[in-house]
């Protein structure tokens, strides 16, 4: 099919639109849509042909060969972007026809825009490029202006900028023609190759041409006009401007880039990077949604420009180059188009007084796909592209560039994710104060009925009513398809790596089924995965694999206690649990990183399901991504020429994993996330997912880092770790661990909110694990794994028990509970066992952990750390007692008189966990022997069993005998008591106490629970100073201040913007050495 | 030794030390009274109390945990004692110390306290949790100097085994920890003052403010159980301290043993053990005397004051002791 | 004032950027290969006496098609922007002078004729569709200024515009079908060199362009006139 | 030499237009500035096609073999450029009209509402 026909069709339809309009609006719209559909069909057909191995399509006009006439060439890259743009144009057309009042002129301009985009992508003639640039520009000028008065202002500024750009383009083009004698781009490139353009005029002409195209691509700071346009243009137009038009211009830009010299290319790449950085920096302070997308768009295009010149500079072959650039570009194209449309759809809904369009499953999922893909997270093409880009930068040793890139990405993540959160969650829109310890924090934990009880059928029906809403699903589908393609090309399109996404997709498709179905599905799939993984792993992998998958399955089972649909929860939980499995099985750096990212982002998304979790989830996302960047840097340096120094790698890796585990300083996201996530989700997060960081640190130490440095034998790398800088670093790590344990424990003591108590407790427990890990010997690591398993057991027990309590009493504040032992005895027993274990009181397994960690530390020569760890474990008693007392003992409140034991779904896992903890308490060998064997594969054994006694160099512990003795001494007084007292005692009434001969007035006044450790606060409260939070808040404040300062350059005055453009041109000329 | 033999031995050593605990409590109360210019109770008063309490049957309770509290408490006291080897080189008094080392003992102390606190909590009486709150807060503070001195010991002897630590101190007073590392011992003794809950650290049970604190609601047999525990637990702590810091007591060594060895040709085993017990009694008596001495001389700290106190001077001393041990 | 200062800097910078073009201008006298080839072959290949027209309509025909699209888009955009007040044009509120009024009436047919001449002979003499179209539009502008016409028949205008545009596209496609490629005018006989009916479809294309450009420009003028008129009334 | 003069004048026009665009606050004057820039550009384009002593590339009776022609391509290009410039100018003017009617002002600094 000759692609020129589509030009004729587009133009013919546009030209005849007035006549069609005379016939009627419906036929006019029909032809309009038919032309766009044909555009998509033709471009798609060509793409399919090319994918099937057809050679690049050459098209000539007027029957003469290039350079005599204008020619088109369609390679794979052009075809891909063209058909993607055509798809977006098609949907955008439908959007305009259905959602925005379209007129004859709008349709005409729209078709002309489609024409311009097509020509920009296809043409190989420089002047023809100019014509198509103008075609698309003028169409855009016209379309922007239809948005109302303020859009007129934006449109005028856009025209000024476009006018300057086109004048520059013309001058550059004509001088290039004068020098090379041709207008054909390939001819010019050949001429440039032969040095014709090397002179001053040639350099200036190329520069002017380059800058004019660059201006069209909206570089910082010469892009104020573009931002105004994004903000004020109607959403449908903004979508096209940002996706199809920008991509087409970029493709055109790549066509002329062979003319650029090395220096100019470097400068342009730098501008791309700076645009990415500054656009995202300024985007953070943005309140207006469309302007924010505008910042993101300019940033993304900047990133694509940067990527383009980076791959060009690295001399990558075409396939590899487009793997990166195309991945970024196509993701941006679909995602940003989708986002702009959403913006328009939700605007409409707001007007109708609804709760907002996105508070439904399918729209939320789509918006999620768009945002997540934009943030370059797996499995989207941008993820793979960015990985490769980072690899290039790491190979080149460009650390500063990498830093800027990561910062920019982080900024973008900050505001885009915030947008997603705001749009998909109703309750954070009113900015409810989610203060710690706030008395107002009475949280009913069932999902808000206003947003979640809509039955799926109703929802689909309401979406069908506005058929464009379903159209918006198409870019998402396209992104999913592209993800598969990119994963395939990256070589990770295998069952294990793709399982989490497949599961998520399946659940999304099945979202019309009831929530419990999803729950059962998740439980069964994760249990099956555990079953499957057991024989396929060994050693440390198997141990953690079981914690992840079996533990995850157990936690998911508990989640069944809620009958509502819980959209999101099951999807993300299953996805995260499966990604943990994939993590354990992953072998290549890419697989590891992919699974890691899915896991950490999945955890954030799980958190997000909580009613008030918006703020914490945002923070969590930033830490997840930030940690991911460190990890990416290290993983991408594997196998490249650039080898970072071992110490640097170790620091990067440790920072990455500590931010996941929430070590002191990197913990600020943890308390809020754990506290505000759904109650059962918190159990999953704390007991299961938090162990991923520990596993990863171990695996990196024994498998991946030694691989980087070619240290094959365990002894060799052990030497490396125990010498010089590494032993210093591990000492530091130990201090981080112990301070985490201490400070988090102290803070936990003062929490009134039970979930905050447990969240801080989790942080402190992770601190112990980090401390043990930091010893880097057999004893320490055995301890770390043992502690991990223990923490899994008792923290799952605690969180699940608390889930039941909150479910019944509908508050999280401990002092509002009390006396619940009577209605909830099993839950009480769970909590009792759990806190005995957590406190490390013999005979339960927690003592084993204490014994191990102190012995290991003393043996490892770290007595001070041992002392602080013991000190903090003493303080842990304070919050543990407070927890069990305030909730289960003391005075029962009138509110809780009618409540029952927790639901079966919560009780059953608790009973299983109690059984497990009793088993490993009585027979520690069951669990310790495999752990010690697994660790001994890597390092010389330092401890061993003699019979059932565990012997270290300095001490011994026989868990079984401790259990026997304890049981014995417990039974003696118990039996004597039972015999002695007989059955004649009776339980007295609640207020029958020796209370100064008075009867207490109410349970509230008698239940000593609020501010339980007041003297402690008086003595040690100063340690509560939230240094970490202040630091991060300060950093964030600084960034936003800088952001505000930079935004002042955008005065809104069109003339100033023109001045920016000229000054920008001059500055670039200076850098590019044009004046030389 | 067979299991049955072990059980019998344990029962014997528990019996001896419970009685010692009663007598110690009685005599200290009398001494205290004399200091304050009263006549005081008879030395055997604890026996009277406990018999009386156990003779009365409790008629009311506040729930299951209320019942189990004293059981936990007594089990904690017994267990703590049973994990400590009371007399060196005497299988009869070695108890069940093979189950674990010093760390086990330190953590088993919490077993009883936790159970007691829970039982008291179920009573619903506000004074109970107030007392527990104070007790826990104070405990977490005095733990630090104690931990530091224990670590100093562990480093010095490169062992956490109590038997090994006692063994290392044999052969004369110069080997005692109190001589080899006086700083650690001072820190530990100050911590001991806190543990004993006498003045100035008696705010936990502060009889005038929150009638005896946690056990407010307990009476009759349950209270008797608590009293029994108090004696055995006191004895256990004292034995532990003497073991760790004052050379312990040995069935084959010590001043008394040497004396009798110089009189007799060969000291029979039973005499050696007896002398060991006597040595232990003397040492613990003297040690306990310190707390009484301090207790009658100082007024009471508030909780926050005692927390700050423990975390400052004694902790610094403990640190110094630790450094001393590492030298 | 800082803005003025920056503007001066910008201007100096722009001058510096443009300076090499003036100073180091290539002074190559020989025509580039492409241009020579056109001069050599175009008359034979296309039969158009005006080489520029041959290039515009054929070799760079796609540019021209695009150009038409640009103008079309501009018309549509102007229409879109100014359409709401279009029907308020109503009655003219001023009378043109006697001279203008009668002179306009007199000149109008001549101007139209001249315009038609220009685009019909575009392949032979200087001029062509665009020029012709502009001239035609000038005639209508004169009518407007002289106040003898208040409004144009929009149906006819859009009919002409749509028809000519569509026909242009059709001619382009005809080249694809009956000649060597899209926009190839050689599906019509070349005729005698230098005659009106020569150079294949080039005169057809230029005539269509002339009509279309004329109609579009008139449309723009009309839209602006209505708008401006309203302003005059309200202000 | 002539070519240099033409190109210089063109460049000068571009600069003059730019000055107008950057300093005139009235929308219409800015558009005029833009038009001047455009014109300068067109002058440069045509100028670059100039050859000394050459004639227009129209084959009529006066042409003899061996006649030199000016480069026909810039002539072709400039036509397109002019039309596009015309289109843009028309659209700018339409914008100016609408802006003026919306605000009763034609000063560029009165139209900077959309910065957030």
Tens-digit pLDDT profile for residues B194-214: 888 888 888 877 666 666 667
The pLDDT score that the predictor gives to residue A248 is 95
Contacts of C3 in chain A (CB under 8 A): 1056, 1059
* Mean pLDDT computed over A1059-1075: 89
For chain D, which domains are there?
Answer: 2-52+70-111 (1.10.287.3510)
Q: How far is CA A790 from CA A673, A794, B17, in A?
A: 22, 6, 36
Chain B residue whose CA is closest to A840: B107
Structure tokens at A677: 């996530």
**Cβ pair D60:C223 closer than 8 A:** no
Q: Is the dihedral of CA B154, B156, B161, B166 positive or negative?
A: negative
Structural contact between residues A683 and A703, judged by C-beta atoms closer than 8 angstroms:
no
- Chains A and C touch, using 3 or more CB pairs below 8 Å: yes
B178 vs C190, more confident: B178
The pLDDT score that the predictor gives to residue B248 is 87
* Residue of D90, D96, D98, D103 to mutate when probing chain C, most C C-beta within 10 A: D90
Structural contact between residues A131 and C70, judged by C-beta atoms closer than 8 angstroms:
yes
3-state secondary structure A787-829: HHHHHHHHHHHHHHHHHHHHHHHCCCEHHHCCCCCCCCHHHHH
Q: How far apart are CA A572 and CA A592, in angstroms?
A: 19
**Cβ pair C52:D94 closer than 8 A:** no
**Cβ pair A956:B58 closer than 8 A:** no
**Cβ pair C169:A205 closer than 8 A:** no
* Mean pLDDT computed over A576-585: 94
DSSP H/E element including A482:
helix A473-490
ipTM for the predicted complex comes to 0.88
Q: Is the dihedral of CA A255, A257, A258, A260 positive or negative?
A: positive
* Residue of C9, C27, C31, C61 to mutate when probing chain D, most D C-beta within 10 A: C31
CA C130 to chain centre: 3
Strands A71-74 and A944-946, how do they pair?
Answer: unpaired
Q: How far is CA D46 from CA A165, A208, C28, D78, D81, in A?
A: 20, 18, 15, 7, 11
What three-state secondary structure class fits C7?
helix
* Mean pLDDT computed over A34-41: 94
B255 vs A305, more confident: A305
The pLDDT score that the predictor gives to residue A450 is 35
Percent of chain A with pLDDT over 70: 92
Chain C residue whose CA is closest to D41: C18
The pLDDT score that the predictor gives to residue A356 is 46
Beta bridge partners of A949: A946
Residue C84 burial by CB count (10 A; 0-12/13-18/19+): exposed, middle or buried?
exposed
The pLDDT score that the predictor gives to residue A999 is 77
- Please say if the pLDDT value at position A452 is more than 60: no
Report long-range pairs for C22-27 (Cβ below 8 Å, ≥24 apart).
Answer: C22/D4, C22/D7, C22/D8, C22/D11, C24/A199, C24/A200, C24/A201, C25/A201, C25/D3, C25/D4, C25/D7, C26/A178, C26/A179, C26/A201, C27/D3
**Cβ pair A64:C80 closer than 8 A:** no
Structural contact between residues A132 and A166, judged by C-beta atoms closer than 8 angstroms:
no
* Residue owning tokens 């600020």: A668
Indicate the average pLDDT of chain B: 88
Structure tokens at B287: 């040690």
Question: Which residue, among A71, A146, A76, A82, has the nearest Cα to A108 in the 3D structure?
Answer: A146
Sequence-distant (≥ 6) Cβ neighbours of residue A452 within 8 angstroms:
A564, A565, A566, A567
The pLDDT score that the predictor gives to residue A713 is 56
Chains A, D: CB contacts within 8 A come to 118
Compute how many other C-beta atoms are within 10 angstroms of the C-beta atom of residue C219. Answer: 24
The pLDDT score that the predictor gives to residue B90 is 86
* Mean pLDDT computed over A900-912: 94
The CB-side HSE value for A460 (13 A sphere, CA atoms) comes to: 8
Compute how many other C-beta atoms are within 10 angstroms of the C-beta atom of residue A524. Answer: 14
Indicate the average pLDDT of chain A: 86
**Cβ pair C125:D14 closer than 8 A:** no
Q: How far apart are CA A1019 and CA B309, in angstroms?
A: 10
Chains that touch A (3 or more CB pairs under 8 A): B, C, D
Task: Look at A26-35, A61-70, A445-454, A840-849 and tell me which has the smallest mean pLDDT.
Answer: A445-454
A577 vs A398, more confident: A577
pTM, two decimals, is 0.91
- Please say if the pLDDT value at position C234 is more than 70: no
Task: Look at A230-239, A869-878, A1066-1075, C195-204 and tell me which has the smallest mean pLDDT.
Answer: C195-204
Which of A982, A1000, A1019 comes nearest B307 by C-beta?
A1019
Q: How far is CA C179 from CA C90, C192, C200, in A?
A: 49, 19, 11
User: pLDDT tens, D28-86?
Assistant: 999 999 999 999 999 999 988 888 878 888 877 777 777 788 888 998 999 999 999 99
Angle at A290 between CA A323 and CA A1057, to 5 degrees: 90
A862-874 core/surface letters (b: 16 or more CB in 10 A; e: else): bbbbbbbbbbbbb
Indicate the average pLDDT of chain C: 81
Structure tokens at A571: 């999807």
- A365-379, A431-445, A540-554, B48-62: which has the highest mean pLDDT? A540-554
User: pLDDT tens, A636-690?
Assistant: 887 776 667 777 888 888 889 988 888 888 888 999 999 999 999 999 999 999 9
What three-state secondary structure class fits A74?
strand
Question: Crossing angle for the helix pair B127-157 and B220-245, nearest 10 degrees?
Answer: 20
- Please say if the pLDDT value at position A882 is more than 60: yes
Structure tokens at A216: 């069209």
* Mean pLDDT computed over A563-569: 82
Tell me the pLDDT band of B321, cut-offs 50, 70 and 90: very high
Q: How far apart are CA C66 and CA A312, in angstroms?
A: 31
Q: How far apart are CA A303 and CA A553, in angstroms?
A: 40
Percent of chain A with pLDDT over 90: 51
What three-state secondary structure class fits A1039?
helix
Start-to-end CA span in chain C (Å): 33
The pLDDT score that the predictor gives to residue A11 is 92
Percent of chain B with pLDDT over 90: 37
How many angstroms away from the CA of D5 is the closest CA of chain C?
A: 8
CA A1073 to chain centre: 41
- Please say if the pLDDT value at position A350 is more than 70: no
Tell me the pLDDT band of A572, cut-offs 50, 70 and 90: very high
Question: Which residue, among A1, A2, A32, A8, has the nearest Cα to A19 in the 3D structure?
Answer: A32
Angle at A474 between CA A468 and CA A476, to 5 degrees: 120
Tell me the pLDDT band of C198, cut-offs 50, 70 and 90: confident
- Please say if the pLDDT value at position C189 is more than 90: no
Chain B residue whose CA is closest to A850: B103
User: pLDDT tens, D89-114?
Assistant: 999 999 998 888 887 888 888 777 65
Question: Which residue, among B177, B206, B228, has the nearest Cα to B20 in the 3D structure?
Answer: B228
Q: How far apart are CA A351 and CA A342, in angstroms?
A: 14
Structure tokens at A514: 């009831």
Task: Look at A369-378, A551-560, C190-199 and tell me which has the smallest mean pLDDT.
Answer: C190-199
- Please say if the pLDDT value at position A444 is more than 50: no
The pLDDT score that the predictor gives to residue A346 is 67
Q: How far apart are CA B228 and CA B234, in angstroms?
A: 10
**Cβ pair A957:B99 closer than 8 A:** yes
Q: How far apart are CA C207 and CA C200, in angstroms?
A: 13
User: pLDDT tens, A690-743?
Assistant: 999 999 988 888 887 777 766 665 555 566 666 666 778 888 899 999 999 999
């Amino acid at each position: 099919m000759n692609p020129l026909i589509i030009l004729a069709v587009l133009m013919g339809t546009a030209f005849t639109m007035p006549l069609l309009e005379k016939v009627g609006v419906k036929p006019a719209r029909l032809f309009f849509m038919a032309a766009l559909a044909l555009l998509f069909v033709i471009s798609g057909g060509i793409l399919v042909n090319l994918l099937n191995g057809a050679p690049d399509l050459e098209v000539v006009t007027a029957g003469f060969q290039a350079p005599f006439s204008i020619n088109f060439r369609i390679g794979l890259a052009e075809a891909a972007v063209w058909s993607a743009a055509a798809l977006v144009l098609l949907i955008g057309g439908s959007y305009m026809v259905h959602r925005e009042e379209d007129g004859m002129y709008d349709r005409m301009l729209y078709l002309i825009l489609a024409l311009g985009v097509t020509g920009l992508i296809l043409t190989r003639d420089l002047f023809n490029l100019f014509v198509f640039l103008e075609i698309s520009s003028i169409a855009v000028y016209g379309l922007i202006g239809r948005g109302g008065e303020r859009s007129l202002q934006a449109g005028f500024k856009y025209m000024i900028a476009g006018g300057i750009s086109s004048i520059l383009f013309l001058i550059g083009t004509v001088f290039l023609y004068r020098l090379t004698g041709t207008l054909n781009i390939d001819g010019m490139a050949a001429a440039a190759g032969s040095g014709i353009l090397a002179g001053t005029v040639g350099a200036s002409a190329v520069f002017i041409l380059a800058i004019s195209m660059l201006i069209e691509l909206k570089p910082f700071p010469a892009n104020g006009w573009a931002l105004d346009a994004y903000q004020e243009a109607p959403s449908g137009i903004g979508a096209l401007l940002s996706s199809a038009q920008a991509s087409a211009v970029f493709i055109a830009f790549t066509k002329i880039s062979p003319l650029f010299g090395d220096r100019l290319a470097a400068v342009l790449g730098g501008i791309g990077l700076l645009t990415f950085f500054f656009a995202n920096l300024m985007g953070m302070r943005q309140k207006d949604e469309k302007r924010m997308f505008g910042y993101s768009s300019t940033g993304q295009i900047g990133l694509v420009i940067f990527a383009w010149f980076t791959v060009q500079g690295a001399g990558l072959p075409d396939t590899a180059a487009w793997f990166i650039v195309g991945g970024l570009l196509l993701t941006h194209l679909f995602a940003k188009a989708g986002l702009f449309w959403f913006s328009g759809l939700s605007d409409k809904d707001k007007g109708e007084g609804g709760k907002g369009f996105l508070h439904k499953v399918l729209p939320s999922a789509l918006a999620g796909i768009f945002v997540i893909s934009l943030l370059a997270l797996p499995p989207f093409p941008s993820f793979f592209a960015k990985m490769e880009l980072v690899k290039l930068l790491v190979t080149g040793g460009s650390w500063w560039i990498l830093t800027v890139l990561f910062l920019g990405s982080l900024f973008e993540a900050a505001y885009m994710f915030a947008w997603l959160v705001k749009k998909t969650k109703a309750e954070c829109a009113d900015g409810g104060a989610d203060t710690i310890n706030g008395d107002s924090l009475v949280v009913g934990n069932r999902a808000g009925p206003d947003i979640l009880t809509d039955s799926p059928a109703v929802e689909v029906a309401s979406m069908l009513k506005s058929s464009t809403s379903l159209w918006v699903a198409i870019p998402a589908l396209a992104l999913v398809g592209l993800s598969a393609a990119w994963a395939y090309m990256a070589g990770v399109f295998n069952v294990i790596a793709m399982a989490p996404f497949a599961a998520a997709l399946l659940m999304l498709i099945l979202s019309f089924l009831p929530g419990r179905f999803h729950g059962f599905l998740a439980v069964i799939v994760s249990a099956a995965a555990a079953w499957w993984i057991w024989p396929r792993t060994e050693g440390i992998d198997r141990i953690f694999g079981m914690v992840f998958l079996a533990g995850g399955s157990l936690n998911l089972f508990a989640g069944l206690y809620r009958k509502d649909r819980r959209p999101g929860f099951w999807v993300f939980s299953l996805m995260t649990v499966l990604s943990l499995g994939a993590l354990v099985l992953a072998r290549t750096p890419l697989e590891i990183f992919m699974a890691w990212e899915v896991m950490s982002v999945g955890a954030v998304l799980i958190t997000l399901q909580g009613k008030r979790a918006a703020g914490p989830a945002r923070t969590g996302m930033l830490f997840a991504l930030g940690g991911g960047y460190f990890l990416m840097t290290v993983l991408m340096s594997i196998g490249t020429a650039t080898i970072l120094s071992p110490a640097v790698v170790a620091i990067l890796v440790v920072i990455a994993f500590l931010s996941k585990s929430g070590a002191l300083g990197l913990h600020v996201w943890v308390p809020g996330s754990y506290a505000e996530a759904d109650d059962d989700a918190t159990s999953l997060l704390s007991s299961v997912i938090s162990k991923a960081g520990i596993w990863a640190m171990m695996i990196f130490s024994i498998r991946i880092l030694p691989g980087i440095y070619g240290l094959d034998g365990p002894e060799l790398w052990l030497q490396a770790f125990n010498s010089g800088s590494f032993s210093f670093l591990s000492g530091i790590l130990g201090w981080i661990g112990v301070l985490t344990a201490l400070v988090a424990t102290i803070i936990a003591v003062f929490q009134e909110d039970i979930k905050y108590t447990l969240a801080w407790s989790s942080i402190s427990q992770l601190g112990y694990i980090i401390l043990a890990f930091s010893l880097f010997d057999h004893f320490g690591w055995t301890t770390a794994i043992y502690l991990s398993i223990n923490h899994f057991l008792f923290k799952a027990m605690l969180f699940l028990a608390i889930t039941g309590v909150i479910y019944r009493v509908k508050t999280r504040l401990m002092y509002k509970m009390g006396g619940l032992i009577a209605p909830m005895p099993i839950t009480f027993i769970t909590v009792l066992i759990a806190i005995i274990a957590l406190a490390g009181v013999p005979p339960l397994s927690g003592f084993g952990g204490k014994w191990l960690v102190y012995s290991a530390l003393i043996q490892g020569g770290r007595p001070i750390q041992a002392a602080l760890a013991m000190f903090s474990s003493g303080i842990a008693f304070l919050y543990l007692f407070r927890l069990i007392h305030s909730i289960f003992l003391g005075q029962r409140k009138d509110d809780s008189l009618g409540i029952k034991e927790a639901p079966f779904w919560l009780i059953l896992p608790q009973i299983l966990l109690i059984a497990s903890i009793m088993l490993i308490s009585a027979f520690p060998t069951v669990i310790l022997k495999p752990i010690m064997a697994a660790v001994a594969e890597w390092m010389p054994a330092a401890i061993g069993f003699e019979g059932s006694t565990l012997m270290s160099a300095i001490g011994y512990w026989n868990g079984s005998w401790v259990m026997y003795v304890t049981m014995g001494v417990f039974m003696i007084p118990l039996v004597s008591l039972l015999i002695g007292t007989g059955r004649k005692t009776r339980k007295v009434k609640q207020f029958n106490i020796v209370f100064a001969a008075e009867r207490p007035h109410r349970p509230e006044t008698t239940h000593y629970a609020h501010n339980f450790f007041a003297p402690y606060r008086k003595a040690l409260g100063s340690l509560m100073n939230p240094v970490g939070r202040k630091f991060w808040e300060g950093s964030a404040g600084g960034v936003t201040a800088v952001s505000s300062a930079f935004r002042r350059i955008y005065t809104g005055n069109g003339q100033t913007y023109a001045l920016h453009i000229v000054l920008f041109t001059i500055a670039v000329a200076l850098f590019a050495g044009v004046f030389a | 030794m067979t299991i049955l033999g072990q059980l019998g031995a344990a029962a014997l050593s528990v019996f001896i030390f419970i009685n010692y605990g009663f007598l110690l409590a009685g005599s200290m109360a009398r001494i205290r009274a004399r200091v304050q210019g009263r006549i005081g109770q008879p030395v055997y008063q604890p026996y009277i109390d406990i018999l009386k309490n156990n003779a009365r049957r409790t008629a009311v309770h506040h729930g299951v945990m209320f019942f189990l509290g004293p059981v936990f408490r007594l089990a904690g006291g017994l267990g703590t004692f049973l994990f400590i080897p009371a007399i060196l080189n005497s299988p009869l008094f070695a108890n069940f110390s093979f189950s674990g080392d010093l760390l086990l003992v330190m953590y088993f102390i919490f077993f009883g306290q936790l159970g007691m606190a829970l039982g008291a909590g179920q009573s619903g009486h506000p004074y109970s949790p107030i007392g527990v709150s104070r007790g826990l807060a104070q405990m977490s503070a005095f733990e630090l100097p104690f931990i530091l001195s224990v670590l100093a010991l562990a480093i010095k002897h490169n062992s956490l085994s109590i038997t090994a630590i006692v063994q290392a101190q044999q052969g004369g007073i110069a080997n005692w920890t109190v001589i080899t590392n006086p700083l650690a011992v001072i820190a530990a003794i100050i911590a001991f003052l806190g543990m004993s809950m006498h003045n100035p650290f008696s705010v936990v049970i502060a009889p005038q403010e929150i009638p005896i604190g946690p056990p407010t609601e307990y009476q009759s047999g349950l209270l008797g159980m608590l009293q029994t525990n108090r004696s055995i637990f006191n004895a256990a702590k004292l034995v532990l301290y003497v073991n760790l810091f004052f050379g312990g007591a040995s069935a084959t060594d010590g001043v008394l043993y040497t004396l009798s060895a110089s009189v007799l040709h060969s000291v029979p085993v039973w005499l050696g053990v007896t002398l060991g017990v006597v040595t232990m009694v003397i040492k613990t008596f003297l040690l306990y005397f310190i707390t009484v001495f301090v207790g009658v001389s100082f007024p009471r700290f508030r909780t926050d004051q005692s927390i700050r106190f423990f975390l400052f001077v004694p902790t610094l001393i403990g640190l110094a002791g630790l450094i001393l041990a590492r030298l | 004032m800082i803005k003025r200062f920056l503007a001066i800097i910008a201007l100096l910078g722009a001058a510096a950027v443009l300076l090499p073009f003036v100073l180091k201008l290539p002074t190559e006298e020989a025509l580039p290969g492409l241009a020579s080839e056109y001069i050599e072959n175009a008359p034979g290949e296309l039969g158009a006496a005006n080489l520029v027209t041959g290039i515009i309509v054929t070799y760079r025909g796609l540019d021209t098609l695009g150009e038409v699209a640009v103008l079309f888009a501009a018309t549509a955009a102007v229409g879109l922007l100014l359409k709401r007040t279009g029907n308020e044009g109503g009655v003219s509120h001023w009378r043109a002078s006697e001279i203008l009024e009668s002179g306009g009436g007199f000149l109008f047919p001549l101007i139209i004729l001249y315009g038609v001449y220009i685009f019909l002979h575009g392949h032979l003499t200087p001029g062509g569709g665009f020029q012709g179209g502009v001239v035609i539009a000038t005639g209508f502008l004169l009518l407007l200024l002289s106040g003898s016409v208040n409004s144009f028949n929009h149906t006819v205008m859009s009919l002409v515009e749509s028809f000519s545009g569509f026909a242009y596209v059709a001619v382009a496609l005809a080249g694809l079908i009956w000649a060597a490629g899209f926009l190839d005018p050689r599906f019509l006989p070349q005729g005698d060199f230098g005659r009106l009916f020569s150079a294949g479809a080039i005169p057809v294309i230029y005539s269509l362009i002339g009509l279309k450009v004329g109609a579009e420009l008139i449309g723009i003028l009309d839209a602006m006139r209505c708008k401006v008129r309203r302003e005059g009334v309200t202000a | 030499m002539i070519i240099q003069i033409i190109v210089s004048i063109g460049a000068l026009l571009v600069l003059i237009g730019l000055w107008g665009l950057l300093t005139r606050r009235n929308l219409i004057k800015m558009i005029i500035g833009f038009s001047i820039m455009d014109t300068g550009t067109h002058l440069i384009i045509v100028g670059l096609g100039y050859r000394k002593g050459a004639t227009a590339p129209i084959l009529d009776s006066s042409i003899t073999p061996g006649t030199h022609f000016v480069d026909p391509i810039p002539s072709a290009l400039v036509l397109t450029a002019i039309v596009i410039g015309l289109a843009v100018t028309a659209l700018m003017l339409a914008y100016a009209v609408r802006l003026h009617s919306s605000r009763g002002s034609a000063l560029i600094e009165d139209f900077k509402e959309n910065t957030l």
